[in-house]
């Protein structure tokens, strides 16, 4: 016993799972999620690029508001995409990541839609401003489309759970008395 042979098998260190290169994976972005997240980031980036190209503005308040929202939307969509694709997803847990995603996407989409409307109303009508507005509307649509898709997907999953568990029925064995009285 002095050599620790009794405890040898239980105290051996567990083998660590092999690390992925740079910790990146796409397994949490199956199906429609990967194209949607990529589209959100790309459209937001295009909106940022187009509004940065605008040379002159007459009513600059709408442009500045659109600039702030489009840049914030791009950075947040990139951040959420990185969370889904790295080990941070397991660190935070699926429930927390899903909850953050569920609340940030409509907020980003709504703000992006509002900024696009304000920018469209205050722009001078140049081609670059119109392109920025179009990309803004498309990006806000991508953010809001993800929430609509997620909502219907979660309703479908809840309906499947309810159909698998029919609840308490009187004919089941669990609901019969233990001592049958005649």
pLDDT in tens, 119-160: 999 988 889 999 999 999 999 999 999 888 888 877 887 787
Residue 23 within a domain? no
Is 14 part of a structural domain of the chain?
no
CA angle 66, 70, 72 (to 5 degrees): 120
pLDDT at 146: 87
pLDDT mean over 12-21: 60
Q: Is residue 115 within 8 Å of residue 47, measured between CB atoms?
A: no
In a domain, 124, yes or no: yes
pLDDT exceeds cutoff 90 at 107: yes
pLDDT of residue 11: 60
181 inside domain: no
Q: What is the pLDDT of residues 45-80, one digit of tens each?
A: 999 999 999 888 888 889 999 999 999 999 999 998
Full-model pTM: 0.71
Instruction: Tell me what pLDDT residue 14 has.
Output: 65
Integer distance in angstroms from the first to the last C-alpha of the chain?
64
Domains identified in the chain, total number: 1
For residue 180, tell me if it sits in a domain. Answer: no
- Domain range enclosing 112: 31-151
pLDDT higher than threshold 60 for residue 176? yes
DSSP 28: T
In angstroms, the CA 71 to CA 105 distance is 15
Confidence of residue 20 (pLDDT cuts 50, 70, 90): low
Average pLDDT score over residue span 28-47: 87
Q: What is the pLDDT of residue 23?
A: 66
Residue 73 falls inside a structural domain: yes
Rounded to 5°, the CA angle 79-81-86 comes to: 95
Residue 54 maps to a domain: yes
| Cα→Cα distances 127→35, 45, 114, 117, 177, Å | 28, 17, 20, 16, 78
Q: Which residue's structure tokens are 């004919």?
A: 171
For residue 88, being part of any structural domain is answered with yes
């Amino acid at each position: 016993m002095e050599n620790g042979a009794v405890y040898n098998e239980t105290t051996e260190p567990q083998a660590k799972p092999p690390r992925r290169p740079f910790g990146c994976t796409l397994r949490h972005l199956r199906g429609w999620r990967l194209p949607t997240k990529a589209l959100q980031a790309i459209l937001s980036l295009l909106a940022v690029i187009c509004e940065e190209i605008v040379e002159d503005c007459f009513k600059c308040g709408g442009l500045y508001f659109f600039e702030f929202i489009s840049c914030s939307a791009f950075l947040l969509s990139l951040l959420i995409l990185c969370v889904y694709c790295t080990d941070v997803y397991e660190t935070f847990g699926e429930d927390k990541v899903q909850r953050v995603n569920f609340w940030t996407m409509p907020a980003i989409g709504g703000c992006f839609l509002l900024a696009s409307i304000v920018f469209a109303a205050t722009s001078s009508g140049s081609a670059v401003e119109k392109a920025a507005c179009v990309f803004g509307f498309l990006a806000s649509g991508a953010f809001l489309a993800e929430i609509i898709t997620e909502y219907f997907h979660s309703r479908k999953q809840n309906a499947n759970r309810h159909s698998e568990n029919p609840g308490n029925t009187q004919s089941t064995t669990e609901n019969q008395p233990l001592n049958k009285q005649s």
